[in-house]
Amino acid sequence: MEITFEKGIPGFEAYKKFTMSNVEENPKLKMITSTDDAHIGFLSISPFDIKKDYEIDLNNEIVKELQIEKEEDVLVLNLITLGKSLETSTVNLKAPVIINIINNKGRQLILQDDKYKIKEPLVGSEKHVSYY
């Protein structure tokens, strides 16, 4: 799947076009790679695999920008920061990536509340995640 981030991803604003693919060894993980520079890529995971009760409110600006018509057209992913091991790797729950899977438009949001952490442990944060 190709994804267009019209505003880029924070810190990587120059890169607008990405592809998303499954990670063969673990179907829960997705790789988001720049089509402009294959050295720019992000490992991601659904926040619901980390926190079952994860929730965000998409404001009208985001809904309009991504042309979202139905809730089921939205894919939410969070970027992973790899550590030296899975136990030291973290996931950024504070800045979800929102993708409209109908038109392949995406945007990374930065949530303004302190409900979620930038460096949530990837492994062991909840019992159902520990099988990574």
Q: For residue 131, tell me if it sits in a domain.
A: no
Give Dmax over CA atoms of the chain in angstroms. Answer: 41
Q: For residue 57, tell me if it sits in a domain.
A: yes
Looking up residue 46, the CATH number of its domain turns out to be 2.30.290.10
Q: For residue 132, tell me if it sits in a domain.
A: no
pLDDT at 127: 45
Q: For residue 107, tell me if it sits in a domain.
A: yes
Q: For residue 46, tell me if it sits in a domain.
A: yes
pLDDT at 130: 40
pLDDT at 124: 67
User: pLDDT means per 10 residues in the chain (132 residues)?
Assistant: 95 96 92 95 95 92 96 96 91 97 97 92 61 43
pLDDT at 125: 53
pLDDT at 86: 81
What span, in angstroms and rounded, lies between the C-alpha atoms of 105 and 24? 24
Q: Which domain holds residue 63?
A: 2-124
When divided into structural domains, the chain yields a total of: 1
Q: For residue 130, tell me if it sits in a domain.
A: no
